[in-house]
Amino acid sequence: MRSSVALFALVAAPLAFGSDARVEFLSKQLSSASDARVRVNAAVGLGALGVPAAIPPLCSALRDPEPVVRSASAKALEELADPGAVPCLKARRVDSSPEARQAIERAIASLEAPKTLYLALEPVQDESGKLAKDDIATCESLWRGELGKLGASFAPHGESKAQAQSVIRSKKLKAFMLRPKLAAVDGGALEMKVMVLTYPDQAIKSNHKVKAKGGKPVALLKVMVPKMVQDVAEEHEWK
């Protein structure tokens, strides 16, 4: 069993509101800003949030009159790495713009790529009991988004051992369980831990920890989760 620890500080402008408010703000910009450049930036911002709530406004923007906005929205949906976006992308794959059409096709191909990594991702535990529910939800969405970029599919909650073994054998998958934990610690810092186990047998494979400070929780999480996923992926050769 291997353990890894990372410590870093984030230098960033504080975020003024939580993920729900950011989705609402960017969605409004995407749908109503008169300048196409503002709409493009809004699409990019929604894709970077890593939350499922960003899918509907981005899907709607695939009908924007400007090809550059439609392309940016398709790329943002690909960035979210959520297969839930596939139906709306397929509905717009006959776009009149070659650039937008290519972006849509790339997004569909990425989201429908064969999955070889099968993960049982447990809910994020708040070890400190001090974190807002919105922060925990954002953390979970970021985990799913980052793991989705690695081509992971996710085991359903409550899956039995026999069911898991059947799926893993039939599709020849590499399977792991992840148990992420998050805590607010002294000095405004966040500490994240994750235990990686075999699945479904649940034998411990490795432990990882990262600690960060210097920003609002959501800003810290947007740096911590990709770092943690990168460490785990490198340790277990998921790339």
pLDDT tens digit sequence for 91-135? 999 999 999 999 999 999 988 887 789 999 999 999 999 999 889
Distance CA 186, CA 201 (A): 36
Distance CA 186, CA 180 (A): 20
- pLDDT over 80 at 20, yes or no: no
- pLDDT over 60 at 36, yes or no: yes
Overall pTM > 0.75: no
**pLDDT per residue as tens digits for the range 206-228:** 999 999 998 889 899 999 999 99
Task: Give the number of C-alpha atoms closer than 13 A to the C-alpha of residue 206, restricted to the C-beta side.
Answer: 16
Q: Which domains does the chain have, with CATH numbers?
A: 2-14+115-235 (3.40.50), 33-111 (1.25.10.10)
Helix (H) or strand (E) run with residue 50 in it? none
Instruction: Look at phi and psi of residue 227 and say left if phi exceeds 0, alpha if psi is from -120 to 50, else beta.
Output: alpha
- Give the DSSP letter string of 86-120: HHHHHHTTT-SSHHHHHHHHHHHHHHTSPP-EEEE
pLDDT value at residue 10: 44
> 30 CB contacts (<8 Å, ≥6 apart)?
39, 42, 43, 46, 57, 58, 60, 61, 69, 73
204-213 vs 174-185, strand pairing mode: unpaired
